């Protein structure tokens, strides 16, 4: 077993999901006694007026004894939403599409 500092945990596996202006991180880590756990992190870049941008992060720590209960509640919640508001991928616009610009005729600017 490796020697850990106070807050350092060994990273075992990591995956990220970009979702619009947010990024979700799924990180499997190892405790000092060799047990795996999952951290779910939501990260969103903030742009406060007159200040430096920063990433706002929210974390959830999920331990293996809770995996089944968490997964069941997650699936049930998704099923409920989908039954009330079915998912239609064609209705979801890519972030780049929502930031489109109108056509500008530069000849009009000289008038």
Left if phi > 0, otherwise alpha if psi is -120 to 50, otherwise beta: which for 77?
alpha
Computed over every residue of the chain, the mean pLDDT equals: 81
Residue 103 has pLDDT above 60, yes or no: no
Q: Region 12-17: what's the mean pLDDT?
A: 96
Higher pLDDT, 110 or 26: 26
CATH topology classification for 10-109? Nuclear Transport Factor 2; Chain: A, (3.10.450)
Secondary structure percentages of the chain, helix, strand, coil, to 5: 30, 35, 35
Quote the CA–CA distance of 105 and 67 in Å, as a whole number.
57
pLDDT tens string 53-80 = 899 999 999 999 999 999 999 999 999 9
């Amino acid at each position: 077993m490796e020697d850990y500092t106070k807050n350092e945990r060994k990273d075992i596996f990591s995956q990220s999901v970009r979702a619009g202006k947010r990024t979700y991180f799924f990180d499997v880590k190892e405790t000092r006694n060799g047990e795996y756990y999952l951290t779910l992190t939501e990260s969103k870049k903030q742009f406060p007026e007159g200040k430096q941008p920063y990433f706002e992060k929210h974390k959830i720590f999920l331990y293996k004894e809770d995996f089944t209960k968490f997964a069941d509640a997650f699936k049930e919640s998704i099923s409920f939403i989908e039954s009330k508001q079915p998912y239609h991928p064609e209705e979801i616009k890519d972030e780049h599409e929502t930031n489109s610009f109108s056509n500008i005729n530069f000849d009009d600017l000289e008038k």
